[in-house]
Structure 1
Amino acid sequence: MIDQEVDTDRSVRTVAFDRPDARNALTVTGLETLERAIGDADETVIYLTGNGPAFCAGADLSAVGDLNGDRERAVEFARLGQRVARTIEDSPAVVVAGIDGPARGGGLELALACDVRVGTPDSTYGEPGVTFGLFGAWGGTVRLPRVVGEGDALEFALSGRTVDAEEALRMGLISRIEDEPRTVAEEISENADDALTVLKRRLRDDRERATQERLEAEAFGELVENHADDIDAVLE
């Protein structure tokens, strides 16, 4: 589910979502594997990408369906995704998301946890869960307004619409559009390791995230409980 490759010349570790037939949707096992891959990396730069035609579709809906409307289990599932996103955000490495194709729901939220987001011209972005009574609960309600501003965050999340790379760039959802996003990771890796580590730590200093994430997970659990039938309908 997660593929890895290390470029020792540039000190860049590539971590790739690797379920192309499922648009790289993540199960519990996939999330746990991703957490280990990021946590175990000792390179200066991590390049997070997706194999196949998508970056990441977020949570595998069958995993959400398996929650059977159980609020407590849904909260635990949300907390797992949040923990993985925190692992990305808190990594001493600079994490660059290279986004080609769709980034949806939790996949977009994991990208939001990265330090730099670079999209290809074919990349697209969306939080479609609201259309069937859910939302991605992997820290997106905390990070999205910080990245794009409250106005764009509200419109984007509440509409459930998809935006292309140009609009994502305008919003600040991504910082660059490149045919080969990996080149940005390689550029960053050429800088001094200690400077990169210190800069990331200072720019990422955030003392209020835990409370917001707890409230987000609880809200997700309530929606899973209330919309169990709607989730089943989507899976049919």
Structure 2
Amino acid sequence: MASVGFSVEGQVATVTIDRPEAMNAIDAETGEALRDCLKRIETESAIRVAVLTGAGDKAFSAGADLKKSPPPSESYAATAFGSGDESFIASLAIEKPIICAINGYALGGGLELALACDIRLAAEHARFGLPEVKVGTIPGAGGTQRLPRMIGASDAMLMLLTGDMIDAAEALRLGLISRVVPAADLLGEAQRLAARIAANAPLSVRAIKRLVTSGRMLPLDEAIRLERLVWGLLRDTEDRQEGRLAFREKRAPNYVGR
């Protein structure tokens, strides 16, 4: 049975980590399948937005599957200076928006995967944690870097240094997630939100994601200059003209990504 489900409805792709018997932990096969899904989302023009979730109602993902993680076959130096050692989660770079529907535990690499997404919705029973410090390691797929940027250094350090879990209400208070949704409505809410985003001008959506992502690393004046440059690039697109025309004609716009 495939460890990752993939479906497309309209302009929205839904990716489901499908190992509920292992709390949707990510083994080598699952990681490779997720890479393939992300590549497909990025390259297929008909897909404009993606939803990422886990199968079942217990876990989004418990992170790396330690039971199926073999010892490395080569030295770290050989990996780092050879084929590279960077996790696909740490380096996840896709310009189309990804909405994460967190349907239970999001722990370790599972939370790091959620952090790499753009919008996070969570079921009321969801729990979040980066427990790596409790087993003698660190979050190595972006956790120590994305979490402080998202919720602030003090709250991030509290989670990282204790390894303790927080519930959905606390995650909402910290700004780790955008909404708490009843579990039965979670996937539908995420897909409806994705469809609303997909109905917008695709070049504008991708430009906004790139600006937000890049701008966080830049001084404000440089980020604003980049914003003006991107605004100029979009000024003469067909979609911008279509949007203004549709507004005047009081109809839904027909965006084509040009």
TM over 0.5: yes
Aligned twin of 1:217 = none
Map of 1:191 onto structure 2? 200
- Work out which structure has the larger RCO, using CA pairs closer than 8 Å and 6 or more positions apart in sequence: 1
Q: What's the counterpart of residue 175 of structure 1?
A: 178
SS in 2 for 1:185: helix
Considering fraction of residues, name the structure with more helix.
1
**1:204 counterpart SS class:** helix
Separation in 2 of the partners of 1:67 and 1:121?
Answer: 37
Q: CA separation of 1:166/1:106 partners in 2, compared to 1, >3 Å: closer, same or farther?
A: same
Distance in structure 2 (CA, Å) of the matches to 1:78 and 1:151? 32
Q: How does 1:1-236 map to 2 (within 5 A)?
A: 1-8=3-10, 11-41=11-41, 42=44, 43-52=47-56, 53-64=58-69, 66-67=70-71, 72=76, 79-81=85-87, 83-87=88-92, 90-179=93-182, 180=186, 181-182=189-190, 183-205=192-214
AA partner of residue 169 (structure 2): E
Change (3 A) 1:30 1:38: same
The offset of 1:207, in angstroms, is 9.1
Structure 2 distance, partners of 1:113, 1:99, is: 13
Residues 120 and 176 in structure 2, CA contact (< 8 A), matched pair in contact too: yes
Task: Spell out, residue by residue over 1:64-110, the C-alpha distance to the aligned partner (whole angstroms, 9 max, x if none).
Answer: 4x2279761897699342x24423xx212100100011000001001
173-182 or 70-79: bigger deviation: 70-79
Between the aligned partners of 1:194 and 1:160, the Cα distance in structure 2 is 39
Question: Structure 1 residues 75, 118: CA separation in 2 closer, same or farther (over 3 Å shift)?
Answer: farther
Post-superposition offset of 1:131: 1.2
Consecutive unaligned residues in structure 2, runs of 5 or more: 218-258
Amino acid at match of 2:112: E
Higher Cα Rg: structure 1 or 2? 2
RMSD: 2.4
CA contact (8 A) 2:89 2:116 kept: no
Name which of structure 1's ranges 188-197 and 101-110 shifts more when overlaid on structure 2: 188-197
Aligned mates of 2:108, 2:34 — CA distance in 1: 17
Unaligned ranges ≥5, structure 1: 209-236
Q: Which amino acid aligns with 2:179?
A: R
Identity rate, percent: 37
